[in-house]
């Protein structure tokens, strides 16, 4: 659950803003809730979403590509390390 506008619910978790990779969902959520300054600093795309930037869709796609590439690199390193340690 994300932080609602106004007083923060004791059940909300603002880290949820860091895991929304659908521009339409992000736009809809911003109508109902507001990310905090910490989340905006951690994920600047939230500021683009708040301002209605036309770049939002492409920036989110770039984030997805970045994290996918990083995950592949992590798996490659993990796999190579395990292959070396079993030899």
User: What does the alpha-carbon distance between residue 5 and residue 33 come to, in Å, rounded to a whole number?
Assistant: 5
**Which residues on neighbouring strands pair with residue 4, listed in sequence order?**
33
Mean pLDDT taken over the chain: 87
Q: pTM of the full predicted structure?
A: 0.72
In 5-37, which positions are buried (b, 16+ CB within 10 angstroms) versus exposed (e)? Answer: eeeeeeeeebeebeebeebeebeebbeebbbee
pLDDT per position as a tens digit, 58-83 = 999 999 999 999 999 999 999 988 87
Judged against a pLDDT cut of 90, whether residue 34 lies above it is answered with: yes
Helices 23-32, 56-85: inter-axial angle, 10-degree rounding: 120
Q: Break the chain into its structural domains and give their ranges.
A: 14-85
């Amino acid at each position: 659950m994300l932080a609602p506008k106004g007083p923060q619910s004791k059940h909300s978790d603002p880290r949820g803003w860091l895991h929304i990779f659908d521009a339409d969902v992000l736009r809809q959520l911003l109508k109902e809730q507001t990310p905090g300054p910490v989340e905006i600093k951690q994920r600047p795309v939230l500021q683009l979403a708040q301002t209605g930037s036309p770049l939002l869709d492409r920036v989110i796609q770039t984030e997805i590509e970045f994290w996918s590439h990083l995950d592949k690199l992590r798996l490659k390193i993990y796999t190579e390390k395990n292959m070396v340690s079993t030899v």
